[in-house]
Structure 1
Amino acid sequence: MKEAKAEAEMSIISMLPAECISHIVSCTTPLDACRSSLVSSLFRIAADSDIVWERFLPQDYKEIISTSLNSLSKKDLYFHLCNHPIIIGNGNMQSGKKCYMVGARGLSVIWGDTPGYWRWISLPESRFSQVAKLNYVWWLDIKGYIETKNLSPRTTYAAYFVYQLSSQHNLGTAATPVTLRVAYEHSAVAVEHSVILDPVNYEGTAPPHARYRGDGWFEIEMGEFVTEEDNATVVCSLMETSNYNCKTGLIVEGIELRPKE
């Protein structure tokens, strides 16, 4: 009975023009579009059309890609960008969505312009010309302000604090956490939690939050948010203002935003 009903529904759908089917498929996901192309030759034509895959590309993709990519179909362009991310200023494209990174120079770092507290140095493993190295402070207060117009719309993003620790680092005690917070500016709703930055604490175990990226840097997820507004500001912050122990040896590359898997 169910099989007969499914066949009847498929027969009705097959009577629709390919363009209508394309519009329907464009309201799904890239994975669903690929699955739809296996249904029949009509669905393959509809699911592979530019109508579908242009919907999955960033709205401003024409301003980002080079002219050499204009000859590709929208489907081929989508998968090309998945496999060959394009650097866009401080960001890039991944899986059809934009990634973005604010370098240390673009962050608000308390006492960051005071040479006695922070130094600006160059490291060969950094994508930025300068990173911030902590000489010593008693308080940590680092904030990044990201405008959602630089990100893909209607997308869940995670923010990551990207850093190193020098061989002579000291961030207080092994159990001293920092508070990470992600929220829209002026919003009372925020994602907030505490973590330990030292990837190997004095007991010799790695905290679950820190991850080695493989490019010379560690990262810790700060929180996530959804880009529901076209022109808003998200504030990502790292703070430790309750422990007055001297802190030293933290090296900050920046804050990176990536679409959640």
Structure 2
Amino acid sequence: MAESKNDHMVYAKDLKITWSRDRRYWRWVKDTENSYVAELLNVCWLKVSGKLENANLSPGTQYEVVLVAKMKTRAYGFDDPVNFKVTYPGGTNDRPINLEVEFKDSKDQWKDIKLGEFEASANQGDIEFLLYKYGGKWKSGLVIKGVAVRPKS
């Protein structure tokens, strides 16, 4: 993704991914753009979080938050929705996302999954995001490039 002045990408290496340093659960793979992506090998407790400083955004602009990811052909455990929460100065957006449905016709292809939107304000504070599913089925096959925060088109 080419970043303009108002586009921001929080790459996988800058996210907090529970158990990402344990090779039994996650694998770091070098991407074609000389960055690393996080490939989920096997977890039942999924927690990926990150943040972006509000000061990096243009006040009064409507932004969208998207997960840039792909799902491997042999992925499993995503038939139940995972949760996504975006917190920004003045509000919170929390909703379930069925990743199996989102990737149904686009396995092994990068895709932008819209997670929420907000209007940037002059208030100080961070934009925080959290993708999570605690317990339940074991999951595998999700590959995360990062989270993009960009002006809504």
Could you say which structure has the greater relative contact order, defined with CA pairs below 8 angstroms and 6 or more residues apart? 2
Distance 1:249 1:147 in 2: 30
Larger strand percent? 2
Q: How does 1:112-151 map to 2 (within 5 A)?
A: 112-124=20-32, 127-151=33-57
Compute the displacement of 1:177 (Å): 0.2
Amino acid at match of 2:112: E
3-state SS, counterpart of residue 239 of structure 1: strand
Does residue 114 of structure 2 align to residue 221 of structure 1? yes
Structure 1 residues 240, 128: CA separation in 2 closer, same or farther (over 3 Å shift)? Answer: farther
Does residue 93 of structure 2 align to residue 191 of structure 1? yes
Larger helix percent? 1
Q: How does 1:1-261 map to 2 (within 5 A)?
A: 91-93=3-5, 98-124=6-32, 127-172=33-78, 174=79, 176-184=80-88, 189-198=91-100, 199-200=103-104, 216-229=109-122, 231-241=124-134, 243-261=135-153
- Contact 1:110-1:141 at 8 Å conserved across structures: yes
Q: TM-score, length-normalised on structure 1?
A: 0.53
Compute the displacement of 1:230 (Å): 5.1
Compute the displacement of 1:101 (Å): 0.6
Structure 1: 4+ residue segments shifted above 3 A = none
CA RMSD across the alignment: 2.1
Distance 2:76 2:97 in 1: 15
- Contact 1:157-1:225 at 8 Å conserved across structures: yes
CA radius of gyration, larger in: 1
Distance 1:224 1:155 in 2: 10
Distance 1:147 1:195 in 2: 25
Give the gaps of 5 or more residues in structure 2: none
Identity of aligned residues (%): 29
- Contact 1:183-1:225 at 8 Å conserved across structures: no
- Contact 2:58-2:121 at 8 Å conserved across structures: no
Structure 1 residues 244, 138: CA separation in 2 closer, same or farther (over 3 Å shift)? Answer: same
- Contact 1:222-1:236 at 8 Å conserved across structures: no
Distance 1:197 1:219 in 2: 11
- Contact 1:153-1:229 at 8 Å conserved across structures: yes
Q: TM-score, length-normalised on structure 2?
A: 0.87
- Contact 1:103-1:128 at 8 Å conserved across structures: no
